């Protein structure tokens, strides 16, 4: 099995890395150099969207992080897709919502506050309002429930939590979202989260990116260059 990534500090890549660790997947990680048009052109034969991650298992190539998580769970431990039809429906609900609503809201504010590309077109007040709308939905969904689908962790928790990769650095969760705070704290205790947090910090540090002070845009290709020791 092969996993294509551009760097290990990406929330979308983190989804796959978390699932790989939780499900005991062994794969060869292939880091694509975003700064190299030739490498990116070659990668477009794997994922025509030129986005990361992508997975190959034998003849099967899959892109879209949510689909990758679902495939890994289906082939390794289907309980991670929900143990009942109701849980499975909630897993799907949160994973679709994460891509359609939570992602644009959280990543927009994150990118504005940390200076990541792409630079959002909205001002910070509008980005905060988008974020708070999404956080209120998530907090409501987690109130009275340990994980998103029920009592047991599923791929939906990995997918949604990954978008909080920069929650601390970008102050994405203000006080008052108690259910989110409790749920995130539980996920951060897991070995998989700790391991991927170390990977993220190493990727950032290798390129000398200090997010506590950073406000300028990160150069395209800089993080994947860090992955390769560049």
Ligand X SMILES: N[C@@H](CCC(=O)N[C@@H](CS)C(=O)NCC(=O)O)C(=O)O
- Binding residues (CB under 6 A) for ligand X: these are 6, 10, 12, 34, 51-52, 64-66, 99
- Least distance CB 32 / ligand X (angstroms): 9
Provide, rounded to whole angstroms, the least separation between the CB of residue 203 and ligand X.
12
**What is the closest distance, in whole angstroms, from the C-beta atom of residue 196 to ligand X in the complex?**
14
Q: Tokens standing for 134? A: 């999404």
CB closer to ligand X, 16 vs 177: 16
Q: How far apart are CA 43 and CA 41, in angstroms?
A: 5
**Residue 52 or 183 with smaller CB distance to ligand X:** 52
Is 21 within 8 Å of 212 (Cβ atoms)? no
Cα dihedral sign for 27, 187, 132, 220? negative
User: In 3-state terms, what secondary structure has residue 226?
Assistant: helix
Q: Which is nearer to ligand X, 150 or 221 (CB)?
A: 221
The first and second tokens of residue 98, run together, are 């994460």
Nearer to ligand X, 128 or 162 (CB): 162
Least CB distance to ligand X at residue 210 (A):
19
Instruction: Copy the structure tokens of residue 209.
Output: 């990116």
Minimum CB distance to ligand X smaller for 10 or for 154: 10
CB of 72 to ligand X, least distance (A): 13
Residue closer to ligand X (CB basis): 53 or 141: 53
Minimum distance between the CB of residue 141 and ligand X, rounded to whole angstroms? Answer: 20
Burial class (CB in 10 A: 0-12, 13-18, 19+), 27: middle
CA 151 – CA 186 distance, rounded (Å): 13
- CB hemisphere CA count around 42 (13 angstroms): 10
Q: What number of other Cβ atoms are within 10 A of residue 214's Cβ?
A: 15
């Amino acid at each position: 099995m092969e996993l294509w990534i551009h760097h290990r500090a990406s929330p979308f890549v983190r989804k796959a890395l978390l699932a790989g660790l939780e499900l005991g997947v062994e794969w060869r990680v292939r880091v694509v150099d975003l700064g190299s048009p030739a490498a990116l052109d070659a990668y477009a034969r794997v994922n025509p969207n030129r986005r990361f991650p992508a997975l190959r298992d034998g003849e099967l190539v899959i892109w879209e992080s949510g689909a990758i998580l679902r495939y890994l769970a289906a082939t390794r431990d289907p309980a991670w897709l929900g143990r009942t039809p109701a849980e499975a429906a909630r897993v799907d609900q949160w994973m679709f919502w994460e891509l359609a609503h939570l992602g644009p809201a959280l990543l927009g504010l994150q990118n504005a506050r940390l200076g990541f590309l792409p630079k959002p077109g909205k001002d910070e007040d509008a980005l905060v309002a988008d974020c708070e709308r999404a956080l209120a939905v998530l907090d409501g969904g987690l109130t009275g429930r340990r994980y998103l689908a029920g009592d047991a962790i599923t791929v939906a928790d990995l997918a949604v939590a990954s978008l909080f990769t920069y929650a601390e650095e970008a102050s994405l969760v203000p006080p008052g979202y108690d259910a989110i705070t409790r749920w995130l704290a539980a996920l951060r205790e897991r070995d998989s989260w700790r391991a991927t947090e170390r990977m993220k910090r190493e990727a950032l540090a290798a390129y000398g990116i200090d997010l506590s002070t950073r406000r300028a845009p990160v150069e395209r290709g800089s993080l994947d260059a860090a992955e390769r020791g560049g």
